[in-house]
Structure 1
Amino acid sequence: MLLRMTLAIAIILMPNLLYLKFGTAIPGLNPANLLLVLLIGALALSDRDKAPATTGIMTSPLLLWVATLTIGFAIAIITSPMGFVDDLTHLKNLVFFPLLYFVYRRCGLDLTWTRRLIHLSMAVAVFAGLDAAIDALSFDTSQYSDAQRSAGPFGGVNASNRAGVFYAMFLPLLLATALFNRDRPKLRLAALLGCAILAIGIMATFSRQAYLIAIVISALLLLRRSVLLAAMLALIAIPTAALLPDAVSERIAGTQQYDAVGAVQLDSSTASRFEIWSGAWKMWKDHPLGVGINRFPHYLGDYSSTHESRDAHNAFVLMLAECGLLGVAAMLWLLWRLLKLGLAIREVTLPDDHESRALYVGFMGATLAMALGNVYGTPFFDGLVMGNFWALCGLIEHYVALKADAAPAPAPDTAEASDPRVIGACFPLSARALPGRYASGERFAERHMPGRQHTPS
């Protein structure tokens, strides 16, 4: 029971670490250290005999990821030493949250509690979305303002894009549960309510990338469920789009603006990203091995003076600039293995297993949403955003292992009944009468039907 509570508390805490405040009476106690203590305790309490015996799907790419970041750390402190403690802390933050996968993969819980923790991760995302929706109640929805963007538990206005990606990542899991989990109507209704809350939370972030991700992934899931259903909902959604708050419509329309002579141009936020990416490309050409982790903001001023000390706004661009081609390769391998993890769910899904089918479709959607979210931002390196996703990956693989163990054993003989060897095994006289056709029947019976009594020749 203590193990279950420890794992559940960690899932609840991860997106909400900024809300935790500790006094100075306990030296060294902060939210991150508390989470670390909880996870170490979970490892100590877990039943390793019940953990999957095989190597995890994500193990090799995650180990390469850690090695790549460590090399980037070494490059940073050798080529441009600035603050060893700060760089080491940055490395710790980058490495810590992906390792949650190992904790939850080897948790040793049974299928019921594994399922509950997966549902808990969805519920935590819904409450985070509700937090953003409540913040939006005080907004002036008649016009868009950069100061009126909700980020829920993830911080201030500057974290709104990352909050939008978090909501968009967990939206497919809830939507797939509502669409495919046919045998649990109450759960489907709860998931549908959660989808509505997350949709409102995404709108409250005013993140255009989150809008696009949510629309694209939702459309793909609806098409997989039913083309007719997707078409009907599209016909309903098109006219109701006019009911959206003016601020949302203004934010979407603001991507394109017009100059004094009426020429179309990108807004400053979008245009600045292209300038930053151009500077990152030049940075990589000058430093093929990368400039080292935590160095991109310091080098960017040499290549784009108007955007000094800015974020890369693209996780792949950031890895190229800081860790070179090895960093990009490590990240792409991670994404590929995440898709392979999703396919592993399909392999253990029986025709009437609606829960596993919903989990397969939802996790694939969540993985795609996470990848898209890092094309226009860098939430991949934010532990508050990615912590529960890595925990979910571990739970998914543990779920797959439990499902595989619980699957019915295949029949000893999978051959067709019309196979001559089967006939020869069942009817020894036929085997003696037609030795050319049924002579192998007894040998077949000895190998595939060990419990059968055979008539001696």
Structure 2
Amino acid sequence: MSRLTAFKVPNDVVFFAVWLPFALAFLEWPPQIFWRGVLAAAAYTIGLALAVVYQSRVAVLTALTGSAVFFALQRQAKRSLAAMVLVACGVVLVDAAFGFKLIGKLQASWTSRLPLWLAAWRMFLASPWIGHGIGSFALRSPYDLDPASLPAWIAFDPRGIPWAHNLYLEMLAELGVLGLSALLFLMAFPLGKQPKHPPTSQIERFARAAGTALFAFALSAFFELSLWRQWVGLAFFLTIGCLTATNKTQEGAP
């Protein structure tokens, strides 16, 4: 995909899809032309277009779901529905310009991750509390999976794949219940600190964007993410930091 070590495969554009709710937080209704809004609209358009151009099903799912959740949190049903229809039309138009390659990929098998998930689950069962160690999935998973035992309807990729394409199963396989518990705690902790009565609408929008970004991260983690991808840890902690910062601002801190 690129010479950058952080972005090596098409699905790495999920990084941009996770952050799209922050671009939406800068947009106003009715639309106003000012530099901040123009930059936000451009950032959102580019991020969504990247997901379509690189034919990343996970990135498109993350972008659309994150956008839908952010719009739903605005509690304006008609505007939210109109916005999602506009976003969906944008996805179709960009895909049409590239020969409907994304739609073609959507019709391909979605079962290729199941063998990886099964291997990670078997690793977890073998050492449920502390796992097999960081990086052990790449080394051990080929021995925990027999392709001949898989049903015919499951697509098997014979290439060596170093991560489980599921962050939660990867944590269970490599660090066990203790590792997964730590991950889930980090995800849930800032959500429990959110004030119930935000003082300003702008801070409230940022808080919703941060919460939606965390939701988008958690969703994409179910299908793709791995801590071996350099941007995943960065996106995770930045999202938690943004959510914590909005919490403190709403509590009266500068």
Q: What TM-score comes out, normalization by structure 2 length?
A: 0.79
C-alpha displacement of 1:168: 1.1
Name the structure 2 match of 1:340: 192
Check the 8 A contact 2:52/2:91 in 1, yes or no: no
C-alpha displacement of 1:327: 1.8
Superposed CA RMSD in Å reads 3.2
Structure 2 unaligned spans of 5+: 147-157
Match of 2:244 among 370, 383, 397: 397
CA distance in 2 between partners of 1:231 and 1:402 (Å)? 30
CA distance in 1 between partners of 2:94 and 2:203 (Å)? 35
Listed one character per residue, the Cα deviations across residues 18-58 of structure 1 (whole Å, up to 9, x for unaligned) are: xxxxxxxxxxxxxxxxxxxxxxxxxxxxxxxxxxxxxxxxx
After TM superposition, list the pairs within 5 Å mapping 1:3-402 onto structure 2.
150=1, 155=6, 158-162=8-12, 164-179=13-28, 185-225=34-74, 226-236=76-86, 242-246=92-96, 247=98, 249-257=100-108, 266=109, 270-289=110-129, 290-304=131-145, 306=158, 308-341=160-193, 343-344=194-195, 347=197, 349-350=198-199, 353-387=200-234, 389-391=236-238, 393-394=240-241, 396-398=243-245, 400-402=247-249
Q: Letter of the aligned partner of 1:218 in structure 2?
A: S
CA distance in 1 between partners of 2:227 and 2:175 (Å)? 15
Matched position secondary structure for 2:9: helix
Aligned residues: 240
Name the structure 2 match of 1:59: none
CA distance in 1 between partners of 2:44 and 2:10 (Å)? 19
Structure 1 pair 181–339 and aligned structure 2 pair: CA distance change class (3 A): farther
Check the 8 A contact 1:273/1:313 in 2, yes or no: yes
Q: Letter of the aligned partner of 2:62 in structure 1?
A: I
C-alpha displacement of 1:355: 2.0
Matched position secondary structure for 1:387: helix
Q: What TM-score comes out, normalization by structure 1 length?
A: 0.46
Name the structure 1 match of 2:153: none
CA distance in 2 between partners of 1:381 and 1:254 (Å)? 25
Structure 1 pair 329–241 and aligned structure 2 pair: CA distance change class (3 A): closer
Which structure has the greater CA radius of gyration? 1
Check the 8 A contact 1:279/1:304 in 2, yes or no: yes
CA distance in 2 between partners of 1:281 and 1:206 (Å)? 28
Name the structure 2 match of 1:19: none
Name the structure 1 match of 2:152: none
C-alpha displacement of 1:274: 0.2
C-alpha displacement of 1:177: 2.0
Check the 8 A contact 1:175/1:191 in 2, yes or no: yes
Structure 1 pair 184–233 and aligned structure 2 pair: CA distance change class (3 A): closer
Listed one character per residue, the Cα deviations across residues 200-248 of structure 1 (whole Å, up to 9, x for unaligned) are: 2222332101101111111222233321112333444555654333447
Runs of 4+ in 1 over 6 A off after TM superposition: 180-184
Structure 1 unaligned spans of 5+: 1-149, 258-265, 408-457
Matched position secondary structure for 1:293: coil
